[in-house]
Amino acid sequence: MKATRSLTLAAFALAVVCLVSVAHGEMGWLAPWKLVTDAAGDGRVLRELRLPRTLLGLFAGASLGVSGALMQGFFRNPVAEPYVIGVSSGAAFGAVAVLAAGMPGWVVSLAAFAGAGIAAALVCRLATRDGVTSPLVLLLGGMAIAGFLQALTMGLLLRVDPFGMRSVVLWLMGSLAYRGWEHVAIAAVGWIPGMGVAMAASRVLDLLSAGEDSAASLGVPVETVKRLVIGVSCLMAGTAVASCGIIAYAGLMAPHLARLLVGGRHGMVLPGSALFGALLLTASDLLARHLLPGQELPVGVITGVIGALFLVGFLLMRGRFEA
């Protein structure tokens, strides 16, 4: 009952935030129904600027939330997040390489997704031996590959045209500004199948969370499930990063809020993480647009500040319980 009520309230809050996000922007308040009643003018602003931005926040935030829940369950670590196996570093390298070469904007998302996928594949290859994937080696391999790619990215930044540096910095900090329907499509392509697969495997994930040996004794194909979790998490995080850049902490906070309010079963945690991830990102974007008069902040700045405070509070509370 508590879980259902929490999800209902989160869905209502998300609907309100989305409505405000679509209705209010640089041009002030616009009536949302003009999406369908006004072919030009206000209707065009809503359809081509505000609605894609809001939908991107929904899909990307939900993807990061679910990806974070999967990673925290896989590593059995409450501070794991989607970027722990090098997805963000690979995406950043791909995006900056394309921007340094002066290629058009739509190629940036494709290069970022390719970079994320290649980095994740390399890390998984390092962590797998004789068909067995080691979570510890996966974590350490992710740190090594991430450090290597970050160094290459720093070198590439020297080749970026000074006039294009602003777009590079905005991408690296994470932003939903100036995004179109193609970016929404990229984020949706990751979230829709990823969420379906994750929910279908939710009962198996509950068994796996009790321990690999225990799950194997019940007939769970442990290594297959581990590869599935990694693949789905990388798909969702990779498409989210490719569409809106590196968004800090969204994938860390959402699963914690979900577990706090709906319990520990993956059948509830996964949709809860999707809801809270979408709510965090769309609300943070709304705050980023209106916090400073006449100036818009990258949404990654807002999620970074909120996430850092959240993490400090989490560590303090954990220390109090352990004392």
Ordered domains of the chain (ranges, CATH): 2-322 (1.10.3470.10)
Mean pLDDT comparison of 105-114, 210-219, 234-243, highest-scoring range:
234-243
Structural tokens at position 175? 């932003």
Per-residue pLDDT of 132-161, as tens digits, reads: 888 888 888 888 998 999 999 988 888 887
* Contact (Cβ atoms closer than 8 angstroms) between residue 198 and residue 70: yes
In 3-state terms the chain splits into helix, strand, coil percentages (rounded to 5) of 80, 5, 20
Report the predicted TM-score, pTM, of the whole model to 2 decimal places.
Answer: 0.91
- The whole-angstrom separation of Cα 106 and Cα 223 is 36
Rg for the chain (alpha carbons), in Å? 20
Per-residue pLDDT of 17-36, as tens digits, reads: 999 998 887 777 777 777 66
Q: What is the pLDDT of residue 193?
A: 94
Please, what is the angle between helix 181-200 and helix 51-75, to 10°? 30
Q: What angle do CA 86, 176, 58 make, to 5 degrees?
A: 85
Residues in the chain: 323
Average pLDDT for the chain: 86
